[in-house]
Amino acid sequence: MYEEFKERLSSIISTGIIENELMNRHTTFKVGGPCSVFISPKIEEIPSVLKLCKEYEMPYLILGRGSNILVADKGYDGLVIEMGEENRQITISGTTITAGAGATLTAVAMAAYESGLAGFEFASGIPGSIGGGLFMNAGAYGGEMKDVVVSAKAIDEEGNFVMINADDMNLSYRHSRFMEDNLIITSVTINLTEGNKDEIKALMDDYNGRRKEKQPLGFPSAGSFFKRPEGNFAGKLIEDAGLKGLRVGGAEVSSKHCGFIINVDNATSDDIIKLMNKVQDEVKAQSGIMLEPEVKFIGEF
């Protein structure tokens, strides 16, 4: 059945398929074993791919920039669908920007700046795609995707193209309807305001300067590892628990920002999971708060 699936998939995908592709090449954590099959299809090919997956009961993962996931050392027993180069276009009309889901948040923020559009500066240093950013309602420095998004095009589980308006996205802290309904975002439209380019650039530089000063950008990570507990901050709880610099194998709680778990020396996914468990247990013991991971786990752990 698997060979038959690959053969039929190859007939659908014009860009070809890759077997046993290592996922550490496609995640910001730089960890993760092989997936069964890896593809970078054209958007119009995705509905046929989904129908094929449904027919063969093949699990699949939609991959943007790989910035908020942790893939198991064993890899992923399924199909990885990457939003490739052809789905990263950015177009601007007036104060409206439409970007393919694979476009990076930084690229969209730069396009906004170059057009003198304000309101997306918060996203300029977030290490992910705009599709992934909307999927999890990413945000920083007081801004979130829900503040600027107008609509998104997506593909549902049946392979139908649908348009979702912002009011129907159920956006809240690190949550969206796209998670609930397993929708594949193909493009995102945001609306900004006209602004002064110098002021926009100054704000972007300020945010990025703060990131460099406070975040361990020199090491592979998935960004903030834990969700922000209500009325508190994960990094503060971890630091107060005396866990700064705690290490398991090649994984470490960053001394620069305790909300980050970083890959300092060829960490494995198992190292990261063990470190996460230690952090959760100690913070719970000292504060009574159980930290919830923001990172999504892919594969068998």
pLDDT at position 123: 94
The 10s digit of each residue's pLDDT in 44-62 is 999 999 999 999 999 999 9
pLDDT band for 12, please (50, 70, 90 cuts): very high
Q: Calculate the alpha carbon distances from 265 to 17, 45, 186, 247, 262 in Å.
A: 31, 39, 35, 10, 9
Pairing of strands 184-191, 149-155: antiparallel
State whether 234 and 278 are in the same domain: yes
* 298, pLDDT greater than 80: yes
9 within domain boundaries: yes
CB 166 within 8 A of CB 151: yes
Q: Does 184 share its domain with 141? A: yes
- Residue 150: inside a domain: yes
Residues 175 and 93 in one domain: yes
| Residues 5 and 52 sit within 8 Å (Cβ to Cβ) | yes
Both 9 and 64 in one domain: the answer is yes
CATH code for position 15: 3.30.43.10
174 catalytic, yes or no? yes
Asked if the structure places residue 209 within a domain, the reply is no
Of 41, 57, 82, the residue that ends a domain is 82
Choose the catalytic residue: 124, 176, 187, 224: 224
Q: Residue 255 pLDDT more than 90?
A: yes
Is the pLDDT at 86 greater than 80, yes or no? Answer: no
For the chain, how many residues are written?
A: 301
Options 115, 144, 174, 252, the catalytic residue: 174
User: Confidence band (pLDDT; 50, 70, 90) for 65?
Assistant: confident
Does residue 258 sit in the same domain as residue 285?
Answer: yes
- pLDDT bin (cut points 50, 70, 90) of residue 288 is very high
pLDDT for residue 35: 97
Judged against a pLDDT cut of 90, whether residue 251 lies above it is answered with yes
Beta strands in 192-280 (DSSP E): 193-194, 221-224, 247-248, 251-253, 260-263
Instruction: Confirm whether 228 is a catalytic residue.
Output: no
| SS3 assignment, position 197 | helix
- Same domain? 175 vs 226: no
pLDDT at position 28, please?
94
User: Residue 192 maps to which CATH number?
Assistant: 3.30.465.10
Token pair for 216: 């361990």
Q: Find out whether 153 and 187 touch, Cβ atoms under 8 Å.
A: yes
Active site residue 224: yes
- pLDDT-above-70 percentage for the chain: 100
Domain endpoint, select from 65, 82, 99: 82
Residues 187 and 263 in one domain: no
What mean pLDDT value characterizes the chain?
Answer: 94
Residue 300 within a domain: no
**78 and 99 in a common domain:** no
Q: Is 299 contained in some domain?
A: no
pLDDT for residue 61: 94
* pLDDT for position 77: 96
Least confident of 84-88, 234-238, 239-243: 84-88
Question: What's the CA gap between 207 and 263, in Å, rounded?
Answer: 24
Tell me the pLDDT band of 289, cut-offs 50, 70 and 90: very high
What's the angle, vertex CA 159, arms to CA 158 and CA 162, rounded to 5?
A: 100
Q: Is residue 206 part of a domain?
A: no
CATH of the domain at 264: 3.90.78.10
Residue 120 pLDDT grade (very low, low, confident, very high; cuts 50, 70, 90): very high
pLDDT one-digit tens code per residue, 23-34: 999 999 999 999
Do both 156 and 94 map to the same domain?
A: yes
**Number of structural domains found in the chain:** 3
Residue 261, domain member (yes or no) = yes
Task: Give residue 185's pLDDT.
Answer: 95
**pLDDT for 133-175, tens place per residue?**
999 999 888 899 999 999 999 999 888 999 999 999 999 988 9
Domain, as residue range, for 270: 216-292
**Do 97 and 194 fall within a single domain?**
yes
Looking at the fold, whether 113 and 128 belong to one and the same domain comes out as yes
Decide which of 47, 82, 117 is a domain's last residue: 82
Q: How many of the other CB atoms lie within 10 Å of CB of 21? A: 19
Instruction: Answer for the pair 20, 64: CB distance below 8 angstroms, yes or no.
Output: no
Tens digits of residue pLDDT in 90-108: 999 999 999 999 999 999 9
Residue 110 counted as domain residue? yes
- Tokens describing residue 272: 């990261």
Asked whether the predicted pLDDT for residue 84 surpasses 80, the reply is: no
Are 95 and 187 members of one domain?
Answer: yes
